[in-house]
């Protein structure tokens, strides 16, 4: 492979360096393009062909359906470690030793209390508020309760802010769910596991002893691992660009939560279940919805299908589909929604429209079925995605800051009005 790419504009040639990554991906470094060509820029709506950064955190191969966190295959991680170990791996770059892992968990537990005044903010929200909007606000509010600016150059400072947000987010999530259900805002129990504690905080009833369900603990742990990072997706790019202005970690993550809320992104897991329920209510007529998804005049999309990067099966969807089967089977649940999902998937995988566009089930297609079996309200599905993605956002923010990336400020191609004389109001 040559070391440069040559661009010719109006008969003049310009060479730009080619950079090759550790997985042999190749990028044209155009950082000098505008200066060298006296003003020419690139245009790439949605950044489908544009890399925003170099990163050593997550590798995806969309054609082969490969996903690795710091070089480890997602299939192995989902089987062999728990969510906090994956969080440590993503953020600090290596799987933790037992001592590191135990300390990490203890330090997170020590931070798993939230200022009582946060409840006053929560109380101000109507019960009808979407939990993603609440969580984004409460995460931003954490800055007010933890005003010390994080010195990203200090490993101690960064570590402390990491365990702080990993400790407090599950409390904010549980309180948000319980607020909407009119239940008391409790804490969990710092003698149990991280994922076990999330479920206990969410589901413990004030008048009954709480019994853990190991099937749910294992399923949620796996789901959080599968959602933990996904390179430069929309919400992670949001965290990076907000953080590139040297906004704090909590404020940057709050912005990422808002981006994840979108139904084309993390909000898809809620939209998938609502779609499957609509199909069920419509008599299970999957062919009607397939036709709607293919109709250019119909805004309906088959939620949970398609992906910007995966043009093969999303490896996470494969694992989640097996986990959904396992959870429902272990619980003895016959869920017609899962049957509709499977027949929709089968039809789509045989339909030329989907096959030509390489539209496969993505991470959001099956996850909602497990959350529903666990009794998690549909509106909370994307919040569960946010808990999972939190370590990825932290890792990407930390990498961006430690690499001293410049503030993100894209260019544009102006296509508006050219210079025109001002018109007085009585002449308009």
Least Cβ distance, residue 381 to ligand SDX (angstroms): 12
Strand partners, 5: 16
The packing angle between helices 234-243 and 381-402, to 10°, is 40
Q: Which of 307, 321, 372, 401 binds ligand SDX (CB under 6 A)?
A: 307
Binding segment toward ligand SDX, per CB under 6 A, in 277-285, 296-304, 332-340, 400-408: 296-304
- Distances in Å between the Cα of 139 and the Cα atoms of 13, 121, 164, 176 are 50, 11, 11, 12
Q: Which of 83, 305, 371, 393 binds ligand SDX (CB under 6 A)?
A: 305
Residue number, 75 or 157, with CB nearest to ligand SDX: 75
Binding mask 238-277 for ligand SDX (x = CB under 6 A): --------------------------xxx-x---------
Asked if residue 292 binds ligand SDX (CB under 6 A), the reply is no
Residue nearest to ligand SDX (CB): 306
Binding segment toward ligand SDX, per CB under 6 A, in 62-70, 189-197, 357-365, 373-381: 357-365
Question: Residue 307 catalytic?
Answer: yes
Residue number, 122 or 384, with CB nearest to ligand SDX: 384
Asked if residue 315 binds ligand SDX (CB under 6 A), the reply is no
Residue number, 103 or 294, with CB nearest to ligand SDX: 294
Which position among 130, 230, 307, 351 bears the catalytic label? 307
Q: Which of 82, 351, 364, 399 binds ligand SDX (CB under 6 A)?
A: 364
Q: Which of 228, 327, 337, 359 binds ligand SDX (CB under 6 A)?
A: 359
Binding segment toward ligand SDX, per CB under 6 A, in 91-99, 209-217, 304-312, 398-406: 304-312
What's the alpha-carbon Rg for the chain, to the nearest Å? 23
Name, in order, each residue with C-beta under 8 angstroms of 350's C-beta and a sequence gap of 6 or more: none
Asked if residue 394 binds ligand SDX (CB under 6 A), the reply is no
DSSP string of 150-206?
P-TT-HHHHHHHHHHHHHHHHHHHHHHHHHHHT-------TTS-HHHHHHHHHH--T
- What 123-132 contacts at long range (C-beta under 8 Å, 24+ apart), as own/partner pairs, is 123/179, 125/179, 127/179, 127/180, 127/182, 129/180, 130/261, 130/379, 131/173, 131/176, 131/177, 131/180, 131/379, 131/380, 131/382, 131/383, 132/257, 132/258, 132/260, 132/261, 132/267, 132/382, 132/383, 132/386
Binding mask 28-67 for ligand SDX (x = CB under 6 A): ------------------x---------------------
- Whose tokens are 């909370």? That residue is 380
Question: Residue 364 catalytic?
Answer: yes
Cβ 191 vs Cβ 213: under 8 Å? no
Least Cβ distance, residue 265 to ligand SDX (angstroms): 4
Binding mask 215-234 for ligand SDX (x = CB under 6 A): ---------------x--x-
Torsion of CA 323, 325, 330, 333, to 10 degrees: 130
Instruction: Classify residue 15 by its DSSP letter.
Output: E
Q: Output phi, psi for 12, to 5 deg.
A: -100, 135
Residues in contact with ligand SDX by the rule CB under 6 A: 46, 230, 233, 264-266, 268, 293, 301-309, 357, 359, 362-364
- So which residues are the catalytic ones? 307, 364
């Amino acid at each position: 492979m040559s070391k440069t790419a040559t661009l010719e504009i109006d008969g003049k040639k310009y060479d730009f360096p080619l950079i090759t990554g550790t997985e042999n991906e190749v990028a044209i470094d155009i950082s000098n393009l505008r200066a060298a060509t006296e003003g020419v820029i690139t245009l790439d709506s949605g950044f489908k062909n544009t890399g925003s950064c170099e990163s050593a955190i997550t590798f995806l191969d969309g054609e082969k359906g490969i996903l690795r966190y710091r070089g480890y295959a997602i299939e192995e991680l989902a089987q062999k470690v728990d969510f906090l170990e994956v969080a440590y791996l993503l953020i600090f770059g290596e799987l933790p030793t037992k001592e590191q892992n135990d300390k990490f968990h203890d330090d997170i537990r020590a931070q798993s209390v939230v200022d009582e005044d946060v409840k006053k903010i929560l109380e101000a929200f109507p019960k009808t508020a979407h939990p993603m909007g609440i969580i984004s606000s409460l995460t931003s509010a954490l800055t007010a309760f933890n005003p010390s600016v994080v010195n990203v150059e200090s490993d101690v400072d960064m570590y402390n802010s990491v365990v702080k947000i990993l400790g407090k987010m599950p409390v904010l999530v549980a309180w948000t769910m319980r607020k909407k259900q009119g239940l008391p805002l409790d804490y969990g129990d710092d003698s149990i596991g991280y994922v076990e504690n999330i479920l206990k905080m969410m589901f413990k009833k004030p008048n009954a002893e709480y019994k853990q369900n190991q099937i749910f603990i294992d399923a949620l742990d796996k789901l959080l691992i599968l959602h933990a990072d996904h390179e430069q997706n929309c919400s992670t790019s949001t965290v990076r660009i907000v953080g590139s202005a040297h906004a704090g970690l909590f404020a940057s993550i709050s912005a990422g939560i808002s981006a994840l809320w979108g139904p084309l992104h993390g909000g898809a897991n809620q939209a998938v279940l609502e779609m499957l329920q609509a199909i069920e209510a419509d008599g299970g007529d999957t062919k009607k919805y397939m036709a709607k998804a293919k109709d250019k005049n119909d805004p309906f999309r088959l939620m949970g299908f398609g992906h910007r990067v995966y043009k093969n099966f999303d490896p996470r969807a494969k694992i989640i589909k097996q986990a959904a089967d396992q959870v429902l089977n272990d619980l003895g649940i016959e869920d017609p929604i899962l049957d509709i999902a499977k027949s929709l998937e089968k039809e789509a995988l045989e339909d030329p429209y989907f096959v030509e566009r390489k539209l496969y089930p993505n991470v959001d297609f099956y996850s909602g079925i497990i959350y529903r079996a666990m009794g998690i309200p549909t509106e909370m599905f994307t919040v569960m995605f946010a808990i999972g993605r939190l370590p990825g956002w932290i890792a990407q923010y930390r990498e961006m800051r430690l690499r001293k990336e410049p503030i993100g400020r894209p260019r544009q191609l102006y296509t508006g009005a050219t210079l025109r004389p001002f018109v007085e109001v009585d002449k308009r």
